[in-house]
A and B are shown apart, each in its own frame.
Chain A
Amino acid sequence: MLAYIIRRLFYAIPILIGVNLLTFLLFFVVNSPDDMAVSQLGQKYVTPEGIQAWKRKNGYDLPLFFNPEAPGSDALTETIFFTKSVRLFAFDFGRSESGRDITTDVSTRMWPSLAVALPTFVVGIWVNICVALMVVMFHATRLDRWAVFVFVALMSISYLFYIIGGQYLVAKTWKLVPISGFHGEIQPWKFLLLPVLVGVIAGIGAGARWYCTLFLEEANQDYVRTARAKGASEIRILFRHILPNALIPILTGVVVVIPSLFMGGLLIESFFGIPGLGSYMLDAINAQDFAIVRAMVFIGSILYIVGLILTDISYTWADPRLRLS
């Protein structure tokens, strides 16, 4: 097991290098270091000296990928790409282009993200399973067909409408909760209620339908028929047979998401003014802050890879026949 995990982590290195290379390419085809300097220095009285000074200060005065002036192997290492990437692998994210320490920001912003994403995730799964179980109970009746239709209809509404509608009704018209904001220390739940509610409701359509499919798949298995033939009640079948067996695909399906909960939700965070990583990323895109974008891509990729590894582990855990090798 341990050997497997270590080997997988080694496989991650070329992927992370590839990710980094791609981000660099995408970003620097668009933006030269001069562009970045200009956007950071503001709009008035920008002089070439000022640009040079900014580039030197932030380490963008080297060539991008290849330095023909440096001797030997330094031609590859004395470059923006190498100097900036090596530090990433040491988890040193450095400073954002505006001068703040990224590691500090990421570690403080992670918690609000988690505070929204985790309850949404947990409550969401739980509500979805509940709803799906109820629907499965009425499988192949009129209720079932209507429920499926409602799920699909819920799925067909853009996420933006859920957020806008929730904010407008619950916060603005009914004044039940603050419309936006977040406080870590003082009554954080007050700010979390609405985003979590919106997140859960928006997720019911797709989630409950997926669980329905999983449950139905189990419901058509032979062992269920046997149990039914033995005269077990519907509820017993549902909870003793279908649910535990369906939990395996559910588990392995959701595990991949868990690490990325840290990244938070882009839209929820920006609409509700939650100072998490999702809005951090959005702000960085808008401000074209390359240092933050690069750090976030790196973190995102790592979390994704961790999610993949966790999925593999959860397979062996859920199904003892499988062995990791």
Chain B
Amino acid sequence: MPLPRSIAVVSPRYPDGVTVGGAETLLRRLAERLAARGLDVTFLATCARNHFTWANECPADVRRIHNVEVRRFPVNTDRDPALFLARQSAICRGETLTRAEQAEWLRHSVNSDTLLEHLRAESVRYERILAGPYLFGLVWSVASAFPDRTILTPCLHDEAFARQELIGEMLRSVRGCLFNTEPERELAIRLHGPEAGRGVVVGMGIEPFEADARAFAARRGLTAPYVFYCGRREAGKGTPLLTDYLDVFRARTGRDIALVCAGSGPLDAKPFVHDAGFLSETEKREALAGAVAFVHPSTLESLGIVLLESFTAGVPALVHAAGAVLRWQCARSGGGLWFRHYPDFEAELELLLERPDLRHAMGERARAFVRREYSWDAVERRLFGALEEL
């Protein structure tokens, strides 16, 4: 099948530096790569920045960013946040929702009728629609309205939302999916059958970089060795677990080790926790390069972008054993260890602290792995192959 000439990329938010989200970043990068190859690419997003309020904060306008036309549309104002939260809470409690209730959950999530109108009006232009992540009403509405043209980038996690019947139907009805990893595709199949696993594992390219491993600590006045975390700070990502574990680790082993946390969200105010806030790309790379390890206790990841960046910096990782994707990345790269509980964490972190030779060997393997599997050349081969296939 020939490559489509024109593609719409749909996501609830456009990542413009203020907005942070792995799935949105992935879609933006894929869109820019497609545009760089001469395809006509339009990124369609809402005017929202905050994924809790979905308030229309950005103007509904059209811009051209890195050869991609970026169009923003207002979020529907008739959504009922109370009903949405009620349905979402019921899902989280493990209750079984009827189809009508699931539809209410999705309808009162983020949606934009004007965005859908645009897709209908430009139906001749857009040969394919690349949409994600899976759990937002907007993506479901687009996939339901244009299943024959939609390719999902689901960014699927093993969570209650993914088990909903309507989500399964969406995965089965579209042309196919661009999965980030093999465990993500296996999860789709396990939850919703083989039809839901139609697609290709693509992922995202990681730019190679060299960073000064001493610069971050010197600038921030950090004298102790540190482990690094970057991303949203919330229970779902495992940051409370990380601060608790490190607190006990320091008390039990008597080792002075700090935790540097970059990103947004609340953080336990403990003396050994260094809140780095939002970091520029350069600072983030320097912080990664100087760390003893990158620690990612989240179990809900579909790719692990910062994990791959830590590998690029030649820094090993410590991840939660219950996170299938991150554990898979660590196992196949040879760049990380995984822990079930605190005793594993203590033993593994002590090992990394005691054995710089081991850290170096793991870091080198990890770096080579990213070069091999996540260079943009490798990812583009998979991406264009997928677009020809699906």
- Asked if A and B bind, the verdict is no
- Seen from chain B, the residues whose Cβ lies within 8 Å of a Cβ on chain A are none
- Seen from chain A, the residues whose Cβ lies within 8 Å of a Cβ on chain B are none
